[in-house]
Amino acid sequence: MDKKDTPNNIQPGENTAVLLMHCPDRPGIIAILTEFINDNGGNILYLDQYVDRVNSVFYMRVQWDLTNFTIPADKLRDYFDTLYAQRFDMTYNLYFTGTPQRMAIFVSKMSHCIYDLLARYRAGEWKEWNIEIPVIISNHPDLRYIGEQFGIPYEVIPVTRENKPEAEAQQFAILEHYNIDFVVLARYMQVLSDNFINRYPNRVINIHHSFLPAFIGSKPYHAAHQRGVKLIGATSHYVTADLDAGPIIEQDIVRITHKDTVDDLVKKGRDLEKIVLARAVEKHIQHKILPYGNKTVVFN
Protein backbone atom coordinates (compact mmCIF):
# COMPACT_ATOMS: atom_id res chain seq x y z
CA MET A 1 0.00 0.00 0.00
CA ASP A 2 2.82 2.33 -0.83
CA LYS A 3 0.96 4.23 -3.50
CA LYS A 4 -0.36 7.65 -2.79
CA ASP A 5 -4.11 7.59 -2.47
CA THR A 6 -5.51 9.40 -5.47
CA PRO A 7 -9.24 9.60 -6.00
CA ASN A 8 -10.19 9.01 -9.62
CA ASN A 9 -6.59 8.20 -10.43
CA ILE A 10 -5.45 11.79 -10.63
CA GLN A 11 -1.77 11.75 -9.89
CA PRO A 12 -0.35 14.31 -7.48
CA GLY A 13 1.31 17.13 -9.29
CA GLU A 14 -0.87 16.75 -12.34
CA ASN A 15 -2.10 20.01 -13.72
CA THR A 16 -5.84 19.89 -14.13
CA ALA A 17 -8.72 22.33 -14.38
CA VAL A 18 -12.02 22.13 -12.52
CA LEU A 19 -15.18 23.77 -13.79
CA LEU A 20 -17.95 24.07 -11.22
CA MET A 21 -21.09 25.61 -12.71
CA HIS A 22 -24.83 25.88 -12.62
CA CYS A 23 -27.39 27.35 -14.99
CA PRO A 24 -31.02 26.95 -16.01
CA ASP A 25 -31.50 23.42 -17.28
CA ARG A 26 -31.65 22.93 -21.02
CA PRO A 27 -30.72 20.10 -23.34
CA GLY A 28 -27.20 19.66 -24.59
CA ILE A 29 -25.14 21.53 -22.05
CA ILE A 30 -23.05 18.49 -21.15
CA ALA A 31 -22.52 17.77 -24.81
CA ILE A 32 -21.43 21.29 -25.69
CA LEU A 33 -19.08 21.72 -22.76
CA THR A 34 -17.50 18.28 -23.02
CA GLU A 35 -17.02 18.77 -26.74
CA PHE A 36 -15.34 22.06 -26.06
CA ILE A 37 -12.93 20.39 -23.66
CA ASN A 38 -12.31 17.40 -25.90
CA ASP A 39 -11.91 19.44 -29.06
CA ASN A 40 -9.22 21.51 -27.41
CA GLY A 41 -7.21 18.53 -26.27
CA GLY A 42 -8.50 18.22 -22.70
CA ASN A 43 -8.82 14.73 -21.28
CA ILE A 44 -11.82 14.58 -18.94
CA LEU A 45 -10.92 12.90 -15.64
CA TYR A 46 -14.18 13.45 -13.79
CA LEU A 47 -17.68 14.54 -14.69
CA ASP A 48 -20.64 14.64 -12.38
CA GLN A 49 -23.85 16.49 -12.93
CA TYR A 50 -27.16 16.94 -11.22
CA VAL A 51 -30.43 18.39 -12.41
CA ASP A 52 -32.79 19.90 -9.87
CA ARG A 53 -35.95 19.11 -11.84
CA VAL A 54 -38.21 21.01 -9.46
CA ASN A 55 -36.42 24.31 -10.08
CA SER A 56 -34.98 23.35 -13.47
CA VAL A 57 -31.38 24.04 -12.55
CA PHE A 58 -28.42 22.19 -14.00
CA TYR A 59 -25.30 21.68 -11.86
CA MET A 60 -22.03 20.23 -13.10
CA ARG A 61 -18.47 19.61 -12.05
CA VAL A 62 -15.94 18.69 -14.75
CA GLN A 63 -12.26 18.13 -14.20
CA TRP A 64 -9.80 17.68 -17.04
CA ASP A 65 -6.12 17.17 -17.65
CA LEU A 66 -4.41 20.28 -19.00
CA THR A 67 -1.32 18.51 -20.33
CA ASN A 68 -2.38 18.65 -23.98
CA PHE A 69 -5.02 21.31 -23.59
CA THR A 70 -4.44 23.93 -26.23
CA ILE A 71 -6.08 26.91 -24.53
CA PRO A 72 -3.81 28.59 -21.99
CA ALA A 73 -5.17 28.46 -18.45
CA ASP A 74 -5.17 32.25 -18.17
CA LYS A 75 -7.33 32.61 -21.27
CA LEU A 76 -9.85 30.00 -20.28
CA ARG A 77 -12.08 32.34 -18.36
CA ASP A 78 -12.31 34.58 -21.42
CA TYR A 79 -13.41 31.64 -23.53
CA PHE A 80 -16.08 30.58 -21.08
CA ASP A 81 -17.31 34.15 -20.69
CA THR A 82 -17.50 34.72 -24.41
CA LEU A 83 -18.84 31.38 -25.48
CA TYR A 84 -21.10 30.13 -22.73
CA ALA A 85 -21.68 32.40 -19.74
CA GLN A 86 -24.34 34.54 -21.35
CA ARG A 87 -25.61 31.91 -23.75
CA PHE A 88 -26.47 29.52 -20.89
CA ASP A 89 -26.98 32.13 -18.16
CA MET A 90 -24.22 30.19 -16.48
CA THR A 91 -22.67 30.92 -13.08
CA TYR A 92 -19.30 29.24 -12.78
CA ASN A 93 -15.97 28.96 -11.08
CA LEU A 94 -12.75 27.73 -12.59
CA TYR A 95 -9.98 26.20 -10.49
CA PHE A 96 -6.52 24.96 -11.43
CA THR A 97 -4.95 22.24 -9.33
CA GLY A 98 -1.55 23.66 -10.17
CA THR A 99 -2.39 26.77 -8.14
CA PRO A 100 -1.86 26.50 -4.37
CA GLN A 101 -4.89 26.81 -2.10
CA ARG A 102 -3.96 28.53 1.13
CA MET A 103 -5.88 27.49 4.23
CA ALA A 104 -5.83 29.19 7.63
CA ILE A 105 -6.92 27.25 10.71
CA PHE A 106 -8.62 29.01 13.61
CA VAL A 107 -8.62 27.25 16.98
CA SER A 108 -9.37 27.94 20.63
CA LYS A 109 -8.33 25.38 23.25
CA MET A 110 -9.39 21.99 21.93
CA SER A 111 -6.86 20.16 19.81
CA HIS A 112 -8.69 17.19 18.26
CA CYS A 113 -9.82 18.90 15.04
CA ILE A 114 -6.61 20.77 14.31
CA TYR A 115 -4.47 17.70 15.01
CA ASP A 116 -6.59 15.69 12.60
CA LEU A 117 -6.29 18.33 9.88
CA LEU A 118 -2.55 18.79 10.31
CA ALA A 119 -1.92 15.04 10.37
CA ARG A 120 -3.64 14.75 6.99
CA TYR A 121 -1.76 17.75 5.68
CA ARG A 122 1.59 16.46 6.88
CA ALA A 123 0.90 12.98 5.50
CA GLY A 124 0.32 14.50 2.08
CA GLU A 125 -3.32 13.42 1.80
CA TRP A 126 -4.17 16.68 0.06
CA LYS A 127 -1.02 17.01 -1.98
CA GLU A 128 -2.66 16.73 -5.36
CA TRP A 129 -4.91 19.63 -4.38
CA ASN A 130 -1.88 21.77 -3.63
CA ILE A 131 -2.93 22.77 -0.14
CA GLU A 132 -0.77 25.02 1.98
CA ILE A 133 -1.42 25.85 5.63
CA PRO A 134 0.81 28.84 6.33
CA VAL A 135 -0.78 30.03 9.58
CA ILE A 136 -2.84 29.10 12.65
CA ILE A 137 -4.81 31.80 14.43
CA SER A 138 -6.12 31.39 17.97
CA ASN A 139 -7.75 33.45 20.69
CA HIS A 140 -5.74 31.48 23.26
CA PRO A 141 -2.07 30.55 23.56
CA ASP A 142 -2.83 26.98 24.75
CA LEU A 143 -2.19 25.16 21.49
CA ARG A 144 0.95 27.00 20.50
CA TYR A 145 2.86 23.74 20.89
CA ILE A 146 0.96 22.30 17.93
CA GLY A 147 2.07 25.14 15.71
CA GLU A 148 5.61 24.42 16.87
CA GLN A 149 5.29 20.67 16.28
CA PHE A 150 4.24 21.25 12.69
CA GLY A 151 6.40 24.30 12.06
CA ILE A 152 3.45 26.59 11.36
CA PRO A 153 3.23 30.15 12.73
CA TYR A 154 0.69 30.33 15.55
CA GLU A 155 -0.75 33.80 16.01
CA VAL A 156 -2.54 34.59 19.25
CA ILE A 157 -5.23 37.27 19.03
CA PRO A 158 -7.31 37.45 22.20
CA VAL A 159 -10.96 38.25 21.50
CA THR A 160 -13.41 39.85 23.91
CA ARG A 161 -16.83 41.30 23.41
CA GLU A 162 -15.25 44.74 23.44
CA ASN A 163 -12.24 44.29 21.19
CA LYS A 164 -13.82 42.16 18.46
CA PRO A 165 -13.48 44.76 15.65
CA GLU A 166 -9.83 45.36 16.49
CA ALA A 167 -9.18 41.64 16.85
CA GLU A 168 -10.75 40.95 13.48
CA ALA A 169 -8.73 43.73 11.91
CA GLN A 170 -5.62 41.93 13.16
CA GLN A 171 -6.95 38.66 11.78
CA PHE A 172 -7.60 40.24 8.40
CA ALA A 173 -4.08 41.59 8.31
CA ILE A 174 -2.70 38.13 8.95
CA LEU A 175 -5.01 36.48 6.42
CA GLU A 176 -3.95 39.00 3.82
CA HIS A 177 -0.31 38.70 4.71
CA TYR A 178 -0.46 34.98 4.09
CA ASN A 179 -2.70 35.37 1.07
CA ILE A 180 -5.29 33.03 2.57
CA ASP A 181 -8.00 31.56 0.32
CA PHE A 182 -10.24 29.96 2.92
CA VAL A 183 -10.58 29.56 6.66
CA VAL A 184 -11.32 26.45 8.71
CA LEU A 185 -12.77 26.98 12.17
CA ALA A 186 -11.47 23.92 14.00
CA ARG A 187 -13.56 24.38 17.17
CA TYR A 188 -12.91 28.11 17.26
CA MET A 189 -15.24 29.30 20.00
CA GLN A 190 -15.95 32.81 18.78
CA VAL A 191 -18.72 34.10 16.54
CA LEU A 192 -17.38 35.93 13.49
CA SER A 193 -18.76 39.33 12.54
CA ASP A 194 -20.80 39.87 9.39
CA ASN A 195 -17.88 41.87 8.15
CA PHE A 196 -15.63 38.84 8.40
CA ILE A 197 -18.12 36.57 6.68
CA ASN A 198 -18.71 39.01 3.85
CA ARG A 199 -15.02 39.03 3.11
CA TYR A 200 -14.93 35.25 2.84
CA PRO A 201 -18.31 34.19 1.46
CA ASN A 202 -18.57 30.38 1.34
CA ARG A 203 -14.94 30.32 2.31
CA VAL A 204 -15.24 29.87 6.08
CA ILE A 205 -15.96 26.29 7.14
CA ASN A 206 -17.17 25.62 10.66
CA ILE A 207 -17.80 22.46 12.68
CA HIS A 208 -20.78 22.63 15.02
CA HIS A 209 -21.13 19.91 17.63
CA SER A 210 -24.76 18.96 17.05
CA PHE A 211 -26.91 17.69 14.21
CA LEU A 212 -28.17 21.06 13.09
CA PRO A 213 -30.76 22.53 13.19
CA ALA A 214 -31.06 20.93 16.64
CA PHE A 215 -29.09 22.53 19.46
CA ILE A 216 -27.96 25.75 17.82
CA GLY A 217 -25.59 27.93 19.82
CA SER A 218 -23.40 27.13 22.78
CA LYS A 219 -23.25 23.98 24.88
CA PRO A 220 -25.11 21.64 22.53
CA TYR A 221 -23.88 18.54 24.37
CA HIS A 222 -25.39 19.84 27.57
CA ALA A 223 -28.64 20.51 25.73
CA ALA A 224 -28.59 17.07 24.12
CA HIS A 225 -28.03 15.42 27.49
CA GLN A 226 -30.80 17.48 29.01
CA ARG A 227 -33.22 16.50 26.24
CA GLY A 228 -32.38 12.81 26.55
CA VAL A 229 -31.61 12.17 22.88
CA LYS A 230 -30.36 8.75 21.83
CA LEU A 231 -27.86 10.04 19.29
CA ILE A 232 -25.59 13.06 19.04
CA GLY A 233 -24.29 14.67 15.90
CA ALA A 234 -21.87 17.05 14.29
CA THR A 235 -22.44 19.38 11.36
CA SER A 236 -19.97 21.09 9.09
CA HIS A 237 -21.22 24.15 7.25
CA TYR A 238 -20.22 27.37 5.58
CA VAL A 239 -20.49 30.24 7.99
CA THR A 240 -23.08 32.91 7.22
CA ALA A 241 -24.42 35.87 9.15
CA ASP A 242 -27.02 33.68 10.89
CA LEU A 243 -25.49 31.67 13.73
CA ASP A 244 -25.18 27.96 12.86
CA ALA A 245 -27.58 28.44 9.97
CA GLY A 246 -25.25 28.41 6.96
CA PRO A 247 -25.30 25.87 4.11
CA ILE A 248 -24.66 22.38 5.50
CA ILE A 249 -21.82 20.45 3.88
CA GLU A 250 -21.68 17.28 5.95
CA GLN A 251 -23.30 15.72 9.02
CA ASP A 252 -22.95 12.53 10.95
CA ILE A 253 -24.11 11.07 14.25
CA VAL A 254 -23.08 8.58 16.89
CA ARG A 255 -25.30 6.56 19.17
CA ILE A 256 -25.43 7.31 22.89
CA THR A 257 -27.35 5.80 25.79
CA HIS A 258 -28.71 6.84 29.15
CA LYS A 259 -25.36 5.81 30.61
CA ASP A 260 -23.51 8.64 28.89
CA THR A 261 -22.80 11.72 30.95
CA VAL A 262 -22.23 15.13 29.38
CA ASP A 263 -18.52 14.37 29.54
CA ASP A 264 -19.08 11.14 27.64
CA LEU A 265 -20.96 13.07 24.96
CA VAL A 266 -18.06 15.51 24.71
CA LYS A 267 -15.71 12.59 24.29
CA LYS A 268 -17.79 10.66 21.75
CA GLY A 269 -18.47 13.90 19.96
CA ARG A 270 -14.79 14.68 19.47
CA ASP A 271 -14.24 11.79 17.08
CA LEU A 272 -17.35 12.76 15.18
CA GLU A 273 -16.40 16.42 14.94
CA LYS A 274 -12.97 15.83 13.55
CA ILE A 275 -14.12 13.34 10.92
CA VAL A 276 -17.09 15.45 9.82
CA LEU A 277 -14.94 18.57 9.59
CA ALA A 278 -12.23 16.77 7.64
CA ARG A 279 -14.77 15.42 5.14
CA ALA A 280 -16.12 18.92 4.58
CA VAL A 281 -12.66 20.43 4.19
CA GLU A 282 -11.74 17.74 1.70
CA LYS A 283 -14.85 18.35 -0.40
CA HIS A 284 -14.08 22.06 -0.35
CA ILE A 285 -10.49 21.72 -1.49
CA GLN A 286 -11.55 19.33 -4.24
CA HIS A 287 -14.01 21.98 -5.46
CA LYS A 288 -16.86 19.51 -5.09
CA ILE A 289 -19.22 21.81 -3.21
CA LEU A 290 -21.63 24.05 -5.05
CA PRO A 291 -23.51 26.30 -2.62
CA TYR A 292 -26.92 27.43 -3.85
CA GLY A 293 -29.42 29.35 -1.79
CA ASN A 294 -28.79 28.12 1.72
CA LYS A 295 -27.94 24.58 0.64
CA THR A 296 -25.09 22.74 -1.00
CA VAL A 297 -24.73 20.38 -3.91
CA VAL A 298 -21.88 18.08 -2.87
CA PHE A 299 -20.49 15.89 -5.65
CA ASN A 300 -18.75 12.63 -4.80
* C-alpha distance from residue 152 to each of 197, 281, 285 (Å): 24, 19, 20
Nearer of residues 166 and 242 to a second copy, judged by Cβ: 242
Told to judge if 244 belongs to the known catalytic residues of this protein, a careful annotator would answer yes
User: Which of 45, 73, 85, 156 touches a second copy (CB under 8 A)?
Assistant: 45
Stretch that binds a second copy, among 66-74, 90-98, 129-137, 226-234 (CB under 8 A): 226-234
Interface residue with a second copy among 9, 68, 70, 86 (CB under 8 A) is: 9
Distance of CA 247 to the CA centre of its chain: 11
The least CB distance from residue 63 to a second copy, in Å, is 11
Q: Which of 49, 170, 190, 193 binds a second copy (CB under 8 A)?
A: 49
Instruction: Give whichever of 67 and 261 is closer to a second copy, judged by the CB atom.
Output: 261
Nearer to a second copy by C-beta: 116 or 180?
Answer: 116
Provide the edge-to-edge strand list for the sheet that holds 91-96. Answer: 43-52, 57-65, 16-24, 91-96
Residue 231 in contact with a second copy, rule: CB under 8 A: yes
How many residues belong to the site for a second copy (CB under 8 A)? 78
Contact at 8 Å (CB) between 163 and 182? no
Q: Return the residues of window 53-72 that contact a second copy according to CB under 8 A.
A: 53-54
Catalytic residue among 244, 252, 260, 271: 244
- Shortest Cβ distance from residue 115 to a second copy (Å)? 4
Contact call for residue 286 and a second copy (CB under 8 A): no
Nearest to 212 by CA among 273, 271, 133, 166: 273
Among 78, 89, 166, 263, binds a second copy (CB under 8 A): 263
Q: Output the CA–CA distances (angstroms, integers) from residue 79 to 37, 69, 82, 206, in the order listed.
A: 11, 13, 5, 35
| Alpha-carbon span 236 to 251, nearest angstrom | 6
Q: Give the separation between CA 131 and CA 95, rounded to whole angstroms.
A: 13
* 297 vs 170: CA distance, rounded Å: 33
- Give start and end residues of each alpha helix (H) in 124-163: 144-150
Choices 3-11, 86-94, 130-138, 152-160; region in contact with a second copy by CB under 8 A: 3-11
Q: Which of residues 84-103 bind a second copy (CB under 8 A)?
A: none
Q: Which amino acid is located at 43 in the chain?
A: N
Q: Which residues does the annotation mark as catalytic?
A: 244
